[in-house]
Amino acid sequence: MKAKNCLIFGGSGQVGTSLIRRLTKDNYRVTVVTRNIHQKGIILKTQGNAGYINVVEASIFDEGKIRKLFENADICINLIGILFEQRKGNTFKNIHSIFPSLLAKLCKEYNLRHFIHLSALGINEAVDSDYAKSKLEGEKSILNNFPLATILRPSLIFSVEDSLTTHFLNLLNKLPIFPLYYGGKTKFAPIHCSDLTDTIHYIISKNIYSNIIECVGPEIISFKEILERLLKLINKRRILMPFPLTLAKITASIFEIMPNPLLTRDQLRLLKYDNISSGKYKTNSDIGVPSVRFFDEEVRKYCFMWKEGGQYSKDEYKTKNNTEKNL
């Protein structure tokens, strides 16, 4: 059977690299589009089987170059997304709405088999968030232009390559006090990156066409519980202190001046809303791909980097040292 050609935008992130490995292992040919081939090309080339991956440099604002990439594509997968806006065109509207709309139009024009778009969970409820509004606009435009598209709405995505658990572990390792916004009561259903890429692979291999699928992990955890679990995993104690909303807004506005802000006012608004399955749409479990990777079990595999002793804090080394002492 002829290998399907997958065109991936946003392939250099944690989801993209994991998906490349998953698809090429199953003999799918992958073309990955990156903004900077000199920075990302070598890394991306090592993620897939030799001969099955092609890395192309293109800007999302270069419609002519992007159009040519669709000539040999069967499936388009868009993983591009941002958590905060920057200058030089990196706005929510450009990234989450205008660009996905262009991809959907090209999918229709070139008669692609499928278009899979990574959105976000909880955006229906977060009506006061610019991030959520742009995601919804993008979804609406996609379905208007390519009705067979599948839109995935994941909760928090975590792995050793993420910017979630690793970011929190860095902060918890250094700060004696950590703020709890909205009392830390916001609920999440964290999904491991590999569970999400398994879902995407299943959708492609089984030719599943479903407008919206909510991708959630096997357990629901509050924001406070996430921090408590991370602290337990690295054997640290910290004060988790409820933070006044007014003060949180002020600090967020200051953080926004930074190139890579710790928190923005829009992210603060998002934290008001639970990030769990709404019950209105199918989930990854409903289509036959239940999440099997639990938060604590997966984070334990790499959290030793934030423990005292680093790698040698692992239980296997403790057991070895105790055995040597007893000899």
pLDDT tens for the chain, 327 residues long, are 445 899 999 999 999 999 999 999 999 999 999 887 766 766 777 777 778 899 999 999 999 999 999 999 999 999 999 999 987 778 999 999 999 999 999 999 999 999 999 999 999 999 999 999 999 999 999 999 999 999 999 999 999 999 899 999 999 999 999 999 999 999 999 999 999 999 999 999 999 998 899 999 999 999 999 999 999 999 999 999 999 999 999 999 999 999 889 999 999 999 999 999 999 999 999 999 999 999 999 999 999 999 988 877 666 555 555 555 555
CA distance linking residue 149 with residue 41, whole number of Å? 28
What is the total count of domains within the chain? 1
In CATH, what number is assigned to the domain containing residue 288?
3.40.50.720
Query: What was the pLDDT predicted at 312?
Result: 73
Measured CA distances, 180 to 72, 102, 168, 185, 245 (Å): 49, 39, 12, 9, 10
CB–CB of 113/42 below 8 Å? no
Residue 129 lies in a domain: yes
- Does any domain span residue 26? yes
d(CA 4, CA 146): 19
What token pair was written down for 102? 């262009």
H-type alpha helices, the chain: 14-25, 37-45, 63-69, 92, 99-109, 130-145, 165-174, 193-205, 223-233, 245-255, 265-270, 295-299, 315-326
pLDDT at 316: 55
In a domain, 307, yes or no: no
Q: Is residue 87 part of a domain?
A: yes
Please check whether residue 25 lies inside any domain of the structure. Answer: yes
User: Rounded to whole angstroms, how far apart are CA atoms 166 and 325?
Assistant: 34
User: Which residues are within 8 A (CB) of 41 and not within 5 positions of it... i.e. 6 or more apart?
Assistant: 34, 55, 57
Q: What is the pLDDT of residue 67?
A: 96
Q: 201 is in which domain, residue-wise?
A: 5-161+190-217+275-295
145 belongs to a structural domain: yes
* pLDDT attached to residue 1: 43
Residue 18 covered by a domain: yes
The pLDDT value recorded for residue 21 is 92
Q: What is the pTM of this model?
A: 0.92
Residue 88 in domain: yes
